[in-house]
Structure formats: C-alpha cells, structure tokens
Amino acid sequence: MKTEPAGRPGRFHEVGFYRSDAEFGALIVPFVEEGVTAGQPVIIGYDDRKASLLRSWLYDPGAVAFIADSSLYATPARAIASYWQIFERLIAAGATQIRIAGDVPHEGNGGRFAGWDRYESAANTVWDRFPVWSRCLYDASTAAPRVLDIAARTHPRIVLPSGQYLANRRYQDLADFEPLPPDPDPLERSAPAIEMSDPSAAQVRHAVTSIGGGQVPDTALEDLVIGAGEAVSNARQHGSLPVTARIWTGSGRILVHVHDTGPGPGDPLAGLVPVWTRPGLDGAELWLMHMLDLDVALIRSRDGFTVRLAAGT
C-alpha cells in the first residue's frame, strides 16, 4: 500500500469503489479540490444526481467543468473523441495536468455496459499524449459483478476512500486484456430476413433501407444504413472473401451481421481511436460505425470475423 506523492503531474487511470454517498464523497472531493487548488482543469461527466451531490460538497463548484451533455458517453468512440478535443483545447490554453472523472454507463446506473469494457482498457493508452489523471468510480452496490470485474482488470491502480493507493495485481495491459464476450442477440435465434453473399456496400445499404423502413425511427435506420455499408467496405478491404451479410428485424429492432473469413483487426483499439489523429486516416470504416448511435460488437470466431450492428430497442 502506498500514497501518491502530492502534486506530481502525469498520466494516471485509476479506479475506486464505493458503497455509500459518504464513500463516494471521500473518493471524489479531495481529487477535485486538489486539482482546483493547483489550478488544474477538472472535468466531471456525472449524471444530474451525482453532479448535484458533488457541487454541494465543493468549496467552489464554479471552478469545475461539469459536462451535463449526456451525449458525452453516447458511445465509447464518441467519449474518446470528445475528451480528445477537450484535452487539445486545454493543452493549447496552457494546462499541464488535467483531471477527469466520469460515469461509464452500465445497467446499475441506467445505461448499457456493452462496449465500455473496451473503452476502459483503451483509456490506458488512447490519451497518452495528454497529461490526464482519470479517476473512475464505480458504485459497488449497483454495478454487476462482470462490470466490477472489468473495472478491476482495466485500471493499473486502485484508490481507497481513505486516499491510499493499491497497485492493482489484476490489471491487464491493452494487449492482454480479454473483453467480455458479446451477449447473443435474441433475433439471432430466428432465420434472417435476408442473407446476401459477397454483396456490395450499396446492395446492403439498400437492403437495410427497404427491410428496415418503419421498424425503427428514421435517424436510427439512417445510422444503421451508414454502419452496414461501412462494415461491408471494411470486410472487402481488410477481411477475406467470402463476405456474408445477414439482416434480421423484429419488435422495433434491426440487426445486421457482416461476416468475412479473415481474422479481424489485430489492433485492440480498432474502431475507438479518432481517425483524424492518423496521418492516412486509416481505419475510418470501423471508427465511423462506432461513432454512430448503434450497438456495435466485433465478434471473432473460428470461422472468421463478424461485425454486428443493431438499431432500435
């Protein structure tokens, strides 16, 4: 057990667990107050209840940037891109240490955890160029065991309500991290409405449009059309033929599988890193589909690689 030397700027990604508002306060208030006192930007991405609670505890809540926009955590790729832009602005304005604390969505706080396991792992490297101190706090009384397990495997150190730090022996580096297997989608139990062999992206886009019309809101269908086309382009450029597209619909939901017989992307950050940070804009297809309002799962199996996209509820 050790205590972090005060005032040392750097890059940290740490986790804390609490079971009461008092423990939550003990974990977050010193983190925020120390940052404010040191003149560091502090960014908080909490829901209304936790943000109000924190405001009521702070000496000067006006010195803290509360991001009320719920779209910050709309998808993991969007959260990474949004924070990236915030960090760029703060560094340009002269910041030498930035502190952030936000709530990753999971079923215990009214969200869905699917995909956020990869986000928590990616957060260890994706902002390497920025001096970011990120403190992720999980409510151990509401988070599911698998969420707490991911939290424990994706943060190099644990902070206790006492303020002490523990080196985390369960931490897995990005390369070693084992994400959660995607849950099966109920629609997959039935036969797809259509199955297409080696389709073009345009054929799949038009099939999604005609099969999905009226099944989900127009904006959700639009995102699925874009995402399905990107999945086919990705398979055709980076995967191995044959490429198979399958589309299911049912009860306000549309599901698309785009399967190829290649191994899938080797990069654990595939789809999560803002494409404009890469000189040749590589990986734009997977990134764009992760930026849309879709449930995206990358599924590797013995017979190849599947991008699974779902729109609706």
Partner 1 sequence: VALRISASAAVDGPVVVLSGEADLTTTERLREMLATQLSTGARLVTVDASELSFLDSASLRVLVLAARALQARHGTLVFARPQPLVARLLEITGADRLLDVQESAELGWPPPRPS
Binding residues for partner 1 (CB under 8 A): 81, 85, 200-202, 205, 222, 226, 229-230, 233, 236-237, 274-276, 280-281, 284-285, 287-288, 291-292
Q: How far apart are CA 41 and CA 96, in angstroms?
A: 9
Rounded to the nearest whole angstrom, what is the least distance from the CB of residue 196 to partner 1 in the complex?
A: 16
Residue nearer to partner 1 on the CB measure, 260 or 285: 285
Residues 6 or more apart in contact with residue 297 via CB below 8 angstroms: 114, 115, 182, 307, 308
Take residue 119 and report the two structure tokens written for it. 């986000």
Rounded to the nearest whole angstrom, what is the least distance from the CB of residue 100 to partner 1 in the complex?
A: 20
- Bridge partners (DSSP) listed for residue 101: 44
Q: How far apart are CA 110 and CA 216, in angstroms?
A: 21
Residue nearer to partner 1 on the CB measure, 117 or 230: 230
Q: How far apart are CA 125 and CA 122, in angstroms?
A: 6
H or E element at residue 157 = strand 157-159
Residue nearer to partner 1 on the CB measure, 136 or 225: 225
Residue nearer to partner 1 on the CB measure, 144 or 202: 202
Rounded to the nearest whole angstrom, what is the least distance from the CB of residue 285 to partner 1 in the complex?
A: 5
| Angle of helix 76-92 versus helix 284-291 axis, rounded to 10 | 100
Helix (H, G, I), strand (E, B) or coil at 165: strand
Residue nearer to partner 1 on the CB measure, 11 or 238: 238
Rounded to the nearest whole angstrom, what is the least distance from the CB of residue 146 to partner 1 in the complex?
A: 30
Take residue 231 and report the two structure tokens written for it. 């999945």
Rounded to the nearest whole angstrom, what is the least distance from the CB of residue 288 to partner 1 in the complex?
A: 5
Residue nearer to partner 1 on the CB measure, 200 or 261: 200
Rounded to the nearest whole angstrom, what is the least distance from the CB of residue 311 to partner 1 in the complex?
A: 15
Q: Is the dihedral of CA 196, 202, 204, 209 positive or negative?
A: negative
Size (the chain), residues: 313
Q: How far apart are CA 171 and CA 124, in angstroms?
A: 11
Residue nearer to partner 1 on the CB measure, 168 or 209: 209
Helix (H, G, I), strand (E, B) or coil at 105: coil
Rounded to the nearest whole angstrom, what is the least distance from the CB of residue 96 to partner 1 in the complex?
A: 25
